[in-house]
Chains A and B, each alone.
Chain A
Amino acid sequence: SQQGEEDPQALSIQEGENATMNCSYKTSINNLQWYRQNSGRGLVHLILIRSNEREKHSGRLRVTLDTSKKSSSLLITASRAADTASYFCATGLTGGGNKLTFGTGTQLKVEL
């Protein structure tokens, strides 16, 4: 099964609302990263949080990491239509070199 699994699978919100996506993983990790993918495009790196960090901010993004629960959340505040995309978490495993294991993604739709 997937190392990282996001929920919900799909999320539809109105512009201006906050969007929260969750990611769970199974094994010990070195870091966890969030990526965005617009339909038919490549991945854009959003934010990385290391295993010894609990929270990180970047602009309208806030990521939390709870290693005891093996979970992370991505919060997008004041969402915009341009935030419509798929969001993936990816884990870098302890001892796994730089290889990343991706989750199945959350499809976010922000409506006007």
Chain B
Amino acid sequence: NAGVMQNPRHLVRRRGQEARLRCSPMKGHSHVYWYRQLPEEGLKFMVYLQKENIIDESGMPKERFSAEFPKEGPSILRIQQVVRGDSAAYFCASSTPQYGYTFGSGTRLTVV
């Protein structure tokens, strides 16, 4: 059981480029959550997905950010036209329907 796998661990993008962050949930987990952590702050909820469905995207910025969790393959958090303020650590977690949160190690995005 490899846990929640996120890649890449570190990602550097120039302003205006696109960032794609991947998350493979734990085996048997059908729920995926994305959180963002700014330096010296706690985690802020972004989006909650189940296979092929977005359940709650109340924490997603209205523009440039999107997320998907296809039937096959990892969940993707996509940030278009990145800006310096997008620099943060992005964490993915997966769970079972009851409870069972497991976090990945995160992707640290730096926008230069």
Report which A residues bind B (CB closer than 8 A): 2, 4, 31, 33, 35, 40-45, 48, 88, 90, 92, 97-105
CB-CB nearest in chain A for B105: A42
Q: How far is the CB of B107 from chain A (nearest CB, A)?
A: 10
CB-CB nearest in chain A for B31: A98
How distant is the Cα of A97 from the Cα of B33 in the complex, in angstroms? 11
A98 touches B91 (CB 8 A): no
Chain B interface residue count, Cβ-Cβ cutoff 8 angstroms: 22
A42 touches B103 (CB 8 A): yes
B65, CB-defined interface residue at 8 Å:
no
How distant is the Cα of A64 from the Cα of B53 in the complex, in angstroms? 36
| Among candidates A41, A99, A103, residue contacting B45 with C-beta atoms closer than 8 Å | A99
B12, CB-defined interface residue at 8 Å:
no
B106, CB-defined interface residue at 8 Å:
yes
Majority secondary structure, B binding face: strand
Q: Evaluate whether A98 and B43 lie within 8 angstroms (CB atoms) in the complex, with A33-B101, A42-B103, A45-B101 already known.
A: no
A40 contact set on B, CB distance < 8 A: 108
How distant is the Cα of A97 from the Cα of B99 in the complex, in angstroms? 10
A43 touches B91 (CB 8 A): yes
CB-CB nearest in chain B for A50: B99
B33 touches A98 (CB 8 A): yes
A88 touches B42 (CB 8 A): yes
Q: How far is the CB of A15 from chain B (nearest CB, A)?
A: 25
CB-CB nearest in chain A for B102: A45
Pick from B31, B41, B101, B102 the residue with the most CB of A within 10 Å: B101
